[in-house]
């Protein structure tokens, strides 16, 4: 487990993934405020929030949109400040792609867990009270669990007053979510724990630089493979053309002529 010093008192850097996540969530919050003036915020929020019954009946976009739906001002402020601190901390050690992938996996894990638990209890004949999921607390829980596991000795200021190590803070949050399983918000608690488990699985099995980097490298590889194929095809056409002109020319995969009379020419073996 890595050991790092305590987090400094003050706002961390506002850049990269930190800036993107905070600004997107802030823009979504104000967009709903504007829609509220036209009395459209309610229907839009219902369509974008994660409601298990709606998701299971075709609202397949909700796992990707519910985290941008925020309620009250204080709750939104707490979430955005938490994102700022946690994402900035992880970004400094792991990079933007890794943090963005962790956050996305945790958010999706939260929603999928809620849908699975709701459907399972319903099929067992013990329907659970449905709760609409909003906000990015599932993603924040995943970030906090990652810091608790990877950088557990880091000290945070809980409530800006009490120094507490990250591993203990993550454990306290997990215990609170577990205790909520015995209350009225069971579905919300299951969802939060699902986001934490998704975060744990991500830091265990994810690539070092994140799924975003791996995906971009794969796409670049496909593109470059296509260009190489085009060069080879053009080279074969050129060879056919030159043979018709009475000249025998062979090209390697990079389009360079191969000199069969030069034993030291590495192109002969490509």
pLDDT of 1: 42
Better pLDDT: 17 or 157: 17
> Cβ distance 118 to 187 under 8 Å?
yes
Of 34, 149, 17, residue with least CA distance to 83? 17
Q: Name the pLDDT band for 181 (thresholds 50, 70, 90).
A: confident
pLDDT of 2: 43
CATH class of 16-206: mainly alpha
pLDDT of 197: 92
> Cβ distance 160 to 8 under 8 Å?
no
pLDDT of 220: 64
Domain spans of the chain, in order of start: 16-206, 216-269
Better pLDDT: 61 or 152: 61
> Cβ distance 208 to 98 under 8 Å?
yes
pLDDT in tens, 195-236: 999 999 998 887 665 555 556 655 666 777 677 777 777 777
- Considering the chain, what percentage of its residues have pLDDT values greater than 90? 34
Tokens 């298990």 appear where?
Answer: 52
Alpha carbon distance 148, 189 (integer Å): 19
* Structure tokens given for 202: 């991500």
């Amino acid at each position: 487990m890595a050991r790092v010093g305590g987090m400094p008192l003050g706002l961390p850097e506002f850049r990269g993934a930190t800036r993107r996540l905070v600004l997107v969530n802030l823009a979504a919050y104000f967009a709903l405020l504007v829609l509220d003036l036209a009395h459209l915020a309610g229907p839009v929020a219902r369509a974008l929030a994660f409601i298990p019954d709606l998701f299971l009946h075709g609202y397949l976009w909700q796992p990707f949109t519910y985290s941008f739906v925020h309620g009250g001002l204080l709750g939104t402020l707490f979430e955005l400040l938490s994102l700022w601190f946690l994402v900035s901390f992880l970004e400094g050690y792991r990079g933007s792609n890794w943090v963005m992938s962790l956050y996305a996996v945790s958010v999706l894990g939260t929603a999928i867990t809620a849908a699975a638990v709701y459907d399972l209890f319903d099929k067992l004949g013990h329907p659970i009270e449905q709760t609409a999921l909003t906000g990015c607390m599932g993603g924040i829980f995943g970030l906090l669990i990652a810091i608790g596991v990877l950088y557990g000795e880091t000290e945070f200021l809980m409530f800006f007053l009490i120094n507490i190590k990250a591993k203990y803070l993550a454990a306290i949050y997990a215990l609170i979510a577990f205790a909520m399983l015995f209350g009225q918000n069971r579905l919300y608690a299951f969802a939060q724990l699902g986001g934490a488990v998704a975060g744990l699985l991500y830091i265990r099995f994810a690539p070092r630089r994140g799924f975003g980097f791996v995906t971009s490298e794969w796409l670049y590889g496909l593109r470059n493979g296509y260009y190489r194929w085009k060069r080879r095809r053009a080279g074969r056409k050129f060879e056919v053309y030159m043979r018709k002109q009475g000249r025998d020319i062979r090209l390697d995969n990079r389009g360079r002529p191969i000199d069969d009379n030069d034993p030291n020419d590495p192109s002969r073996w490509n």
